[in-house]
């Protein structure tokens, strides 16, 4: 038995992800970077963040951002196992998002209060997700799984499905994705270049984030 109806789940994910055209995907190595990085992104107009579980401090970073940057909508990324989903909930993240999906995660998400966004890369993946009552998916790795052409093609058999394409997208290609009716938001790390993060150059990250936040305005759907 699921706590979520398909409608409730899709509405909740849309409400979260549609707050910004771009979802920054973050790998935070140093806990002290979490709050200034989140502030730079939120102030630039990108309030929805994905903090990936790729680093040891990720969950502590989420907890800090939740408390200290109240305007941020923080999700936990790289959710690979049900334990990760539970940890995201405990850290008071707004959502959890994965690079793929497993039966164990589909089952755990049914009884979790935190909304979970599985990822797909094929029509079969989408059909499996639909069978579990999901209609919102990350599309990963977007660029190498067919990019905008694949998303346009998915729109035929799956008109009720919308996506957050992520993986290999940058400021140049993001507008092409955002122009598609079945794209809610675009995920990516391009606005947080490794060198700028290492140098704690929040101004440079803020500039790139501001450009990313303006992308939706340049797109006619
Ligand atoms: O770690 C995860 O859970 C992922 O799904 C992977 C990330 O979303 C992408 O690696 C971001 O892609 P880039 O913008 O190409 O850096």
Could you read off the pLDDT of 82-114 as tens digits, one per residue? 999 999 999 999 999 999 999 999 999 999 999
pTM for this predicted structure: 0.96
Q: Is the pLDDT of residue 151 over 90?
A: yes
What percent of the chain shows pLDDT beyond 70?
A: 98
Q: What is the pLDDT of residue 215?
A: 86
Ligand 1 mean position to 34 CA, how many Å?
Answer: 18
Q: Is the pLDDT of residue 217 over 70?
A: no
- SS3 of the chain: CCCCCHHHHHHHHHHHHCCCCEEEEECCCCHHHHHHHHHHHHHCCCCEEEEECCCCCHHHHHHHHHHHCCCCEEEEECCCCHHHHHHHHHCCCCEEECCCCCHHHHHHHHCCCCCEECEECCHHHHHHHHHCCCCEEEECCCHHHCHHHHHHHHCCCCCCCEEEEECCCCCCCHHHHHCCCCECCEEECCCCCHHHHHCCCHHHHHHHHHHHHHHHHHCCC
All domains of the chain in start order, with CATH: 6-213 (3.20.20.70)
Q: What is the pLDDT of residue 1?
A: 83
Ligand 1 mean position to 120 CA, how many Å?
Answer: 13
Mean pLDDT of the chain: 96
The residue-averaged pLDDT of 27-34 equals: 98
Q: Which of 11, 50, 83, 211 is catalytic?
A: 50
């Amino acid at each position: 038995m699921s706590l979520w109806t398909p409608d409730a789940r899709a509405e909740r994910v849309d409400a979260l992800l549609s707050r910004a055209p771009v979802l920054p995907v973050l790998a935070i190595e140093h806990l002290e970077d979490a709050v200034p990085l989140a502030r730079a992104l939120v102030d630039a107009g990108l309030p929805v963040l994905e903090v990936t579980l790729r680093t040891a401090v990720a969950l502590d970073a989420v907890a800090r951002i939740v408390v200290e940057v109240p305007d941020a909508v923080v999700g936990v990324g790289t959710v690979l196992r049900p334990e990760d989903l539970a940890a995201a909930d405990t850290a008071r993240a707004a959502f959890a998002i994965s690079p793929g999906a497993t039966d164990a995660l589909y089952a755990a998400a049914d009884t979790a209060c935190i909304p979970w966004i599985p990822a797909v890369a094929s029509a079969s993946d989408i059909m499996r997700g639909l069978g579990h009552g999901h209609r919102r998916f990350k599309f990963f790795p977007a660029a190498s799984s067919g990019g905008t052409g694949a998303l346009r093609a998915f729109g035929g058999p799956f008109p009720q499905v919308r996506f957050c394409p992520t993986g290999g997208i940058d400021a140049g290609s993001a507008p092409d994705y955002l122009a598609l009716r079945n794209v809610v938001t675009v995920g990516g790390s391009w606005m947080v270049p490794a060198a700028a993060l290492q140098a704690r150059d929040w101004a440079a990250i803020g500039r790139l984030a501001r450009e990313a936040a303006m992308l939706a305005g340049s797109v006619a759907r």
